[in-house]
Structure 1
Amino acid sequence: MRVRSWLWGLALCAAGTAAPAAPELKMDLPDWAATPVADRDLGHGVHMLESFGGNIGVLAGDYGVLLVDAEWPQLNDKVRAAVARISDRPVRYVVNTHWHWDHVGGDAEFARGGALVIASKETYRYIVAEQARSDAAADQYPPGAAVAPALTVDSGTQEFHLAGQTVQLIHAPPAHTDGDLIVRFVEADVLQTGDTYFNGFYPDIDFEHGGSIDGMIAFYDTLYALCGPRTRVIPGHGPVASRDDIRTYQAMLREVRRRVAAGISAGMSEQALIASHPLDDLDRTWGGNLVKQPYLLAIVYEDLKSKGLGGR
């Protein structure tokens, strides 16, 4: 069932700020009661839960369960049921890959159950400053849905051991935002990217919170280097991917950047660029139903213009 459009985190600006608002990414929210949560077993105690929002990583062991991201709050009961089918142990940790609501909306319920919520310092700041006070989306979230992470991690890589896995929290360079964490399950050979990577969709680049098209393109070299030939990649959205998919996605982003930069160099306004439909051929593969061409063009255009175009 189609419901009211939600303005994604990129469109949520703190009241009173002077910076221009980012382009709006409008989505139709689903009938939550009819929205399933699917489980894919990746082996070694690692699972991927997939539903309307961001993918969830699950690591289950005798001590308890680690979640990577927590979905929309409206899906919390279904996520809990899916986790209970994997393990009867409690959820002890929730790692946030970034601050957007479809990844952290379920944090509060897990925190109330005793889970430790972990995020980067940047993600902590954005959750506190943006999500908790956002009037634009307040009617979409139950009271108390926002919760500040209890533990923040610095830049670099943090490592711990749980359920027979070496778990690495890798602070990504500015790409999708400036505070994304990549989670690596070493022995399982699984890498979870959050929204630094969408499999099968155009990206959502949060340039208001440190993201950029050039940062995204450069980051895929780092992401590719973390993958082996058999690595399974859990993207922020979409099905499980491989390292070859990472290279394909990087090539698409380079082409998007090239076309937007060409339009800017030719003196086109943002509206004229969007009206010219320069990505129509790419839409057949990447248009999907998550990020549409006009939104991506607007984000990349404003990003490049804000930096005086820049060159690569």
Structure 2
Amino acid sequence: MRAFLLSLTVLFAISIHGQDVTISVDTLSQNTYMLTGRGGNIGIYVGNNHVFMVDDQFAPLSNKIRAAISTLTDKPISYLVNTHMHGDHTGGNINFNTENTTLVAHDNVRKKLKEKGLTNVKANKMSQSDYEKSLPEITYSEGMTFYDGDETVMALHVHNAHTDGDTMIYFVTENVLHMGDTYFSGRYPYIDLNNGGSVKGYIAAHKKALMVIDNETRIIPGHGRPSNKKELESYTQMLEDIQNIVQNEIDAGKTMDQVKNNSALLSKYDTTHGNGYINPEKMRETVYKSLTGN
């Protein structure tokens, strides 16, 4: 039965931005699921009386996401946590923020969404009511803990990793960790330097995750397929190696353009991890900028 649960995939199709989008549901444990569509992966925990949701992708997908959740449970969504501020993880906030659902995030997520929202309201791109519904209603500086019967849900802030407001969500009893965009499984990560991200903070976030989980933990990455501790360990070693390679180039006096244009520099990882949103050239540039503070 458990093998069946772990392999279950439910598909829902929708057209967004001119392309068909499929919402898939992967069962990771007895009560925890990963939803994949367009944007960041969504985490769903079905508790005793309510649903705990992590991220919500883009607004046009909200109805299909609800339809996918309805195949799992008819319980209401009580809490929705944003792992960070990017629109592919928070775009559905307006649609999911109801009387039954409370939005939760790190302090800096509310700050960034507030700044963006006020700009959109001023430009008549967003109504005042939608702006208010887009904002997290409960925030924290370092973390929060939620309790649901025997389940403990830990929201863990990690500093200056993907952004300056990242949260990892650990479902302790279910043994499932949602890492948000502090982990891009099977591809180079997007480290948002303009919003407080850094390569050193990104690696530190991975090491914090590795201290929390065990060999049986299922990991929900921000993007990519479900992962595990062994894969995260290998990914962390890769990032540390990349950091050291680029730092050696910096110490040798190489300029950013020299590092950015050196296609041989990270070639041993480019084939396996350089085919996503962040290509090899962008990865070299990002790491250089992060390490030099440029």
Residue 291 of structure 1 aligns to a residue in which SS? coil
State the distance in 1 between where 2:180 and 2:186 align: 14
Within the alignment, does 1:281 sit opposite 2:268 as a pair?
yes
Tell me, which stretches of 5 or more residues in structure 2 are unaligned? 1-14
Q: How does 1:91-110 map to 2 (within 5 A)?
A: 91-110=77-96
State the distance in 2 between where 1:110 and 1:164 align: 26
Q: CA deviation at 1:34?
A: 1.3
State the distance in 2 between where 1:36 and 1:196 align: 24
Q: How does 1:1-312 map to 2 (within 5 A)?
A: 31=17, 34-112=20-98, 114-130=100-116, 133=119, 144=130, 147-155=134-142, 157-162=143-148, 164-277=150-263, 278-306=265-293
Q: CA deviation at 1:171?
A: 1.5
State the distance in 2 between where 1:289 and 1:283 align: 10
Deviations 1:214-255 (A, max 9, x none): 112223221101111101111111111111111111111112
Q: CA deviation at 1:259?
A: 2.2
State the distance in 2 between where 1:184 and 1:77 align: 26
Distance 1:164 1:127, change over 3 A: same
Over the aligned positions, Cα root-mean-square deviation in angstroms equals 2.5
Tell me, which stretches of 5 or more residues in structure 1 are unaligned? 1-28, 308-312
The answer to whether the Cα contact below 8 Å between 1:202 and 1:291 also exists between their aligned partners in 2 is yes
Residue 71 of structure 2 aligns to a residue in which SS? helix
State the distance in 2 between where 1:185 and 1:174 align: 23
Q: CA deviation at 1:266?
A: 2.8
Question: Normalised by the size of structure 2, how large is the TM-score?
Answer: 0.85
The one-letter amino acid paired with 2:57 is E
The one-letter amino acid paired with 1:220 is H
The answer to whether the Cα contact below 8 Å between 1:176 and 1:216 also exists between their aligned partners in 2 is yes
Q: Name the counterpart of 1:13.
A: none
Q: CA deviation at 1:168?
A: 0.9
The answer to whether the Cα contact below 8 Å between 1:168 and 1:184 also exists between their aligned partners in 2 is yes
Distance 1:42 1:269, change over 3 A: same
Q: CA deviation at 1:196?
A: 0.8
The one-letter amino acid paired with 2:103 is V
Residue 156 of structure 2 aligns to a residue in which SS? strand
Q: CA deviation at 1:45?
A: 1.3
Question: Normalised by the size of structure 1, how large is the TM-score?
Answer: 0.81
Q: CA deviation at 1:205?
A: 1.1
The answer to whether the Cα contact below 8 Å between 2:16 and 2:60 also exists between their aligned partners in 1 is no
